[in-house]
Amino acid sequence: MSFQAYLDNIEEKTGLTPRAFIALAKERGFDEPSTKAGVIIDWLKQDYSLGRGHAMALVHVIKKGPKIDAKHVGSSGSHRDESDTLWLDGKDNRP
């Protein structure tokens, strides 16, 4: 599953866009550099029933923003993405 597909699946499951999760995380102080991934994973599991893989996709965008490593772009395999920039504003709004 591509990185973007993880984010799209999270939106389908929760009704929240990745950008909405970023805002919620910021309200809780989870965007601070000192916040460990495990804290965010636990929050997403408890409040939204997200598994580790989906939670880690959100950890990335919360902590590092929408850019992903170019090695995942256009590569072969199930984890490839079409762009090095993830769309955070909802799958139905993607240009």
In a domain, 15, yes or no: yes
In-domain check, residue 32: yes
Mean pLDDT on 32-46: 97
Give the pLDDT confidence score for residue 1 in this predicted structure.
78
Domain count, the chain: 1
Write out the DSSP string of the chain. Answer: --HHHHHHHHHHHHS--HHHHHHHHHHTTTTSTT--HHHHHHHHHHHH---HHHHHHHHHHHHH-SB--GGGBS-SSTT-BS-SB---S-GGG--
* 7 in a structural domain: yes
Rounded Cα distance between 84 and 95, Å, is 15
Listed residue (91, 88, 92) closest to 23, CA to CA? 88
Q: Considering the domain boundaries, does residue 93 fall inside one? A: no
Q: CA-based diameter of the chain, in Å?
A: 37
Q: Quote the percentage of the chain above a pLDDT of 90.
A: 76
Looking at residue 5, its pLDDT comes to 92
More confident residue, 24 or 76: 24
Q: What is the mean pLDDT of the chain?
A: 92
Range of the domain at 26: 3-67
